[in-house]
Amino acid sequence: MNMFYFWSSGDKGDLWLSGEGLRQAFSIMNPEAPVCSEVVLLGEKNLLNVTFVLEPGTPRNVKESAEESFLEFARSLGIDEVQAGWVKDEAGKEPLSSKGLLQSPFFWGGLAWVAVSILRLGLSWTLVATAAAAAAFFVAALFTTSQGMEVRRWVKDLKRKWAGRKARTR
């Protein structure tokens, strides 16, 4: 859901801005810049608060360049002030938890591989165990990742289209 902020009125009508829209526009125009994660407009102060994701080892000149690029972008829209902030990317440094482990396709694939390998040792059974692990991984990925949700949605749409074609041919 986008929140639109009333910005100003002029001869050509009212101008409404969306923080998400501004973030996306800047990201498209500056794909090499650090990731812009959030833009909040404080209309009464003619100020934008922008938040960038700070990757480990980002040099100071890259940060300054990103802030300057966003300021130029905002000024082209008639916004005079930009306040930039940086947040560390903690997504990759999440401590191992039982919930995270249970949502990991690697865990389920490894568990299936270990279980089948223990039950059936030998080259042929190791291959069976590897196939079982791969199958568990892909099934778990279908239900625990955003890419898996996209694949499931695509399969549903394909089924609907196929059912519609079958119904029309009858």
Residues facing 6 on adjacent strands: 16
Give me the count of residues in the chain. Answer: 170
Q: Among 111, 96, 36, 100, which Cα is nearest to 71's?
A: 36
Calpha distance 62→75 (Å, rounded): 20
The predicted-structure confidence for 32-52, as pLDDT tens digits, reads as follows 888 888 888 776 666 788 999
Residue 4 pLDDT: 55
Under the banding of pLDDT at 50, 70 and 90, the label for residue 2 is: low
C-alpha dist (Å) from residue 21 to 18, 73, 107, 142, 154? 5, 13, 38, 30, 27
Question: Which of 69, 91, 113 lies at the terminal end of a domain, its last residue?
Answer: 91
120 and 49 in one domain? no
Can you give the residue range of the structural domain that contains 35? 4-91
Which range of 1-5, 104-108, 126-130 scores highest in mean pLDDT? It is 104-108
80 and 11 in one domain? yes
With beta carbons less than 8 A apart as the criterion, state whether 51 and 70 touch: no
131 and 79 in one domain? no
Q: Quote the number of domains for the chain.
A: 2
135 and 108 in one domain? yes
107 and 77 in one domain? no
112 and 74 in one domain? no
pLDDT at 88 > cutoff 50? yes
Residue 66 pLDDT: 92
For residue 74, the domain's CATH number is 3.30.300
